[in-house]
């Protein structure tokens, strides 16, 4: 059984608590790692404190070279890294490879952004009091960053915390998800080859109780968390004075208008609805379709859904496989059954076998049903009908979440209206809400979170402004 050790400040160590990592498809252990205790997290914080000054002074070219080395090494190990993601998360290889490509891009973008770290000149003499003066604003690293990453993108969502921290000059401590800690621990072997000072990065698997020190300890200046809203907002309440960035998911909506390219909309939305069994923060969950094309769209959507290939995630042709565990598959089953018992119609799917839940399409739902009201984080899509565009906008907005939405339309007026009136963090035109590239600002409002990811935007959050006012030369 392969071992993946804790990465503590440049050292690979073990602890007294060993855990086995389960392959969700075989339900068998295939690797092992160790969980941190309080002393390990305390050591990581102390070591991070010791390198704050060194990291802040590190010249841009060195940060650039470090980030590009990580990207290059990850590219060289892409095949093995994708297989590891597939084994620990149940993610089909076609999507695991895509995640590795995105992680590589995340480090490359961060390298490029080191060349344009924020700063500005300000003219102060806009008022008589400022006559003869000028000012410069410089951004300084905020200090120690703590990142808590989820299971569904075990390497790229960790990269979205690690790469900006390196670029900004901040030490970072990462807590990966307990179910999928291996990909980022494997990344530590690459990080360890760089010229980063020891203490700049620690990757610490831990249970929630021990990991809570990353939330509450005031030596940590920024907490960045990706996960559920219930956990995220509760963390914010306990975080004290530190800055908090939350990416908390949603129940992303998609509007398909009568002017849409239906074939394109179906092709993209079927993948967006069911890729990685819907375990994606911007999984396309709620679709609303104009009445003139509703019947055609729904029929073709279900036909294409039934063509998806299910099976072992390590098979090249597999598109749908198991969920992260049987507990979550049972939860999805309960939500769908509850909706069906309350009047929803199951158009296809609706069955569970162990951790595998069939791609499922529902209609006749309402916003009181869990399949609409909450983030299902499973392979379930609802399709409903609308008559006018304002009604569709209201349908998407009638949610506690506000992350992203997609709109398929060929009317500029509808594009502009959607951008102005949808209450969320991003509007994607003629694509699904599941669209994301790694340099765009990404995040939501309402219960979907606080602040933005996306490399440049994360870097700025990891830095603080300081102004220098001086006599004008």
- Show the DSSP H helices in 192-293 as ranges: 208-211, 213-216, 229-238, 262-274
Count of alpha carbons within 13 angstroms of residue 448, beta-carbon side = 27
CA distance linking residue 379 with residue 215, whole number of Å? 32
Instruction: Name 299's Cβ contacts closer than 8 Å, sequence gap at least 6.
Output: none
Q: Catalytic residue numbers? A: 247, 281
Neighbours of 28 (CB within 10 A): 9
Question: Are residues 88 and 183 in contact, defined by beta-carbon separation less than 8 angstroms?
Answer: yes
DSSP state string for 271-324? HHHHGGGG-STT---EEEEETTTHHHHHHHHHHHHHT--BS-TTSTT--B---S
Between β-strands 404-408 and 253-256, what pairing exists: parallel, antiparallel or unpaired?
parallel
**Distance of CA 101 to CAs 1, 64, 96, 129, Å?**
27, 19, 9, 53
Question: Are residues 405 and 428 in contact, defined by beta-carbon separation less than 8 angstroms?
Answer: yes
CA distance linking residue 353 with residue 190, whole number of Å? 38
Length in residues, the chain: 473
Question: Are residues 87 and 79 in contact, defined by beta-carbon separation less than 8 angstroms?
Answer: no
Sign, CA torsion 359/402/459/4: negative
CA distance linking residue 246 with residue 377, whole number of Å? 17
DSSP state string for 451-463? S-BSHHHHHHHTE
CA distance linking residue 321 with residue 170, whole number of Å? 38
Across the beta sheet with 220-226, what order do the strands follow?
A: 11-13, 6-8, 201-203, 172-175, 144-148, 220-226, 243-247, 449-450
Q: What share of the chain is helix, strand, coil (3-state, %, to 5)?
A: 40, 25, 35
Question: Are residues 313 and 93 in contact, defined by beta-carbon separation less than 8 angstroms?
Answer: yes
CA angle 27, 251, 319 (to 5 degrees): 40
CA distance linking residue 276 with residue 94, whole number of Å? 10
């Amino acid at each position: 059984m392969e071992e993946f050790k804790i990465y503590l400040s440049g050292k690979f160590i073990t602890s007294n608590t060993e855990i086995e990592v389960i392959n969700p498809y075989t339900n068998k252990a295939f690797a092992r790692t160790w969980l941190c205790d309080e002393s390990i997290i305390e050591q990581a914080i102390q070591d991070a404190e010791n390198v704050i000054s060194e990291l802040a002074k590190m010249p841009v070219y060195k940060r650039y070279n470090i980030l590009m080395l990580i990207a290059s090494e990850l590219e060289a190990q892409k095949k093995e890294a994708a297989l590891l993601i597939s084994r620990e998360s149940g993610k089909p290889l076609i999507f695991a490879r895509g995640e590795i490509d995105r992680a590589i891009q995340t480090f490359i973008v961060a390298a490029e952004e080191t060349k344009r770290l924020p700063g500005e000149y300000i003219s102060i003499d806009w008022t008589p009091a400022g006559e003869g003066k000028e000012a410069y604003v410089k951004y300084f690293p905020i200090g120690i960053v703590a990142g808590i990453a989820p299971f569904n993108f075990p390497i790229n969502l960790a990269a979205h915390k690690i790469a900006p921290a390196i670029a900004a000059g901040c030490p970072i401590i990462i807590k990966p998800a307990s179910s999928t800690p291996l990909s980022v621990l494997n990344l530590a072997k690459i990080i360890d080859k760089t010229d980063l000072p020891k203490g700049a990065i620690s990757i610490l698997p831990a249970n929630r109780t021990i990991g809570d020190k990353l939330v509450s300890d005031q030596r940590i200046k920024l907490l960045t968390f990706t996960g559920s809203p219930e956990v995220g907002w509760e963390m914010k309440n306990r975080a004290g004075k530190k800055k908090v960035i939350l990416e908390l998911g949603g129940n992303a909506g998609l509007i398909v208008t009568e002017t849409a390219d239906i074939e394109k909309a179906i092709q993209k939305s079927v993948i967006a609805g069911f890729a990685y069994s819907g375990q994606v923060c911007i999984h396309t969950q709620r679709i609303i379709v104009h009445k003139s094309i509703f019947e055609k769209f729904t029929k073709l959507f279900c036909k294409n859904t039934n063509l998806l290939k299910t099976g072992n995630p390590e098979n090249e042709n597999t598109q749908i496989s198991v969920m992260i565990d049987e507990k979550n598959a049972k939860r999805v089953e309960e939500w769908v059954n509850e909706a069906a018992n309350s009047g929803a119609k199951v158009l296809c799917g609706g069955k569970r076998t162990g951790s595998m839940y069939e791609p499922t399409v529902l209609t006749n739902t309402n916003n009181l049903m869990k399949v609409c009201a909450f983030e299902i984080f499973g392979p379930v899509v609802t399709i409903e009908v609308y008559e006018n565009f304002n009604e569709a906008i209201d349908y998407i907005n009638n949610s506690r979440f506000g992350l992203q939405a997609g709109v398929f339309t060929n009317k500029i007026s509808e594009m502009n209206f959607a951008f102005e009136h949808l209450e969320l963090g991003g509007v994607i035109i003629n694509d699904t809400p599941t669209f994301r590239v790694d340099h765009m600002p990404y995040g939501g409002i309402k219960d979907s979170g606080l602040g933005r990811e996306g490399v440049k935007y994360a870097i700025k959050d990891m830095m603080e402004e300081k102004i220098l006012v001086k006599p004008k030369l």
